[in-house]
Structure 1
């Protein structure tokens, strides 16, 4: 689903992002609720400062927030693996050359616009200022996976994250 957000673009750069687990639901600009097999509920939330995913399953509850979080020092780990909780997170920051960021943002808007398990928000003022979330349709057995993209045209950065949660 492709949406144009009615809010100013808040994030300034990849260096301002933090990862928070178990955070309260923050005010959202747009929400996509998904009901998945196995009584799994997933809420994809676009924030004025990036994204939040809320997972509710029979034996698993998780809230993942990647955003500029007031009162929290910016720290986005490259990897975080909590085997006991069945949680794996990776983040990569790209600085594409030339028109690479515009090309990737255009591809995200085109490829995910009609996907039922994806949410793409475009911020006003720059069509390349996008935040996108996509749930993998074919995650590993017993797991749920999603990817996110955060494009920062003002700093020519694209932040990619991938999360895999083992459902118990």
Structure 2
């Protein structure tokens, strides 16, 4: 699903992002609720400050927030493994050659626009200023996962995250 957001940028660059687990739901610009097999429920939330995913399953609940978080120092780990809770997170910051960011973001918008398990928010002022989330709808082996993309055309950065949760 592709949506145009009615809000200005809050994020300014990749270095401003933090990862928080267990936060309360923050005000969202757009929300996509997904019901997956085995009683899984995911809520994909586009924030003015990036994204939040809320996972609810039988006996489990997880909230992941990647955003500019007031009162929290910016720190987006390259990897985080919480084996006790079955949570795995990875983040990569890309700085593509000139012009390539536009191509990557355009391809991403085209690929995810009609995907019922994806949410792409385009911020006003620049079609390349996007936050996108996509869920693997048929999780293998009791795992659910999602990917996110955060594009910052003003700094020529693309932040990719990948999350997997063992249920």
Same fold (TM over 0.5): yes
Asked if the contact 2:36–2:137 (Cα under 8 Å) also holds between the matched residues in 1, the reply is: no
Runs (4+) off by over 4 Å = none
TM superposition score normalised by structure 1: 0.98
Following superposition, the deviation at residue 60 of structure 1 comes to 1.4
Residue aligned with 2:29, SS: strand
Residue aligned with 2:141, SS: coil
Higher helix share: 2
* Counterpart position of 2:117: 117
Query: Where do residues 147-166 of structure 1 align in structure 2 (5 Å cutoff)?
Result: 147-166=147-166
Question: Deviations for 1:19-65, whole angstroms, at most 9, x for unmatched residues?
Answer: 00000000000000001111111000000000000000002100000
Query: Where do residues 72-83 of structure 1 align in structure 2 (5 Å cutoff)?
Result: 72-83=72-83
Following superposition, the deviation at residue 139 of structure 1 comes to 3.0
* Counterpart position of 1:14: 14
Query: Where do residues 110-149 of structure 1 align in structure 2 (5 Å cutoff)?
Result: 110-149=110-149
Q: How many residues align?
A: 167
Structure-2 separation of matches of 1:139 and 1:163? 12
* Counterpart position of 2:89: 89
Question: Deviations for 1:99-158, whole angstroms, at most 9, x for unmatched residues?
Answer: 111011101110000000000000000000000000013433100000000000010000
Could you tell me which runs of 5 or more consecutive residues in structure 1 were left unpaired when the two chains were aligned.
none
Could you tell me which runs of 5 or more consecutive residues in structure 2 were left unpaired when the two chains were aligned.
none
TM superposition score normalised by structure 2: 0.99
* Counterpart position of 2:5: 5
* Counterpart position of 1:105: 105
* Counterpart position of 1:63: 63
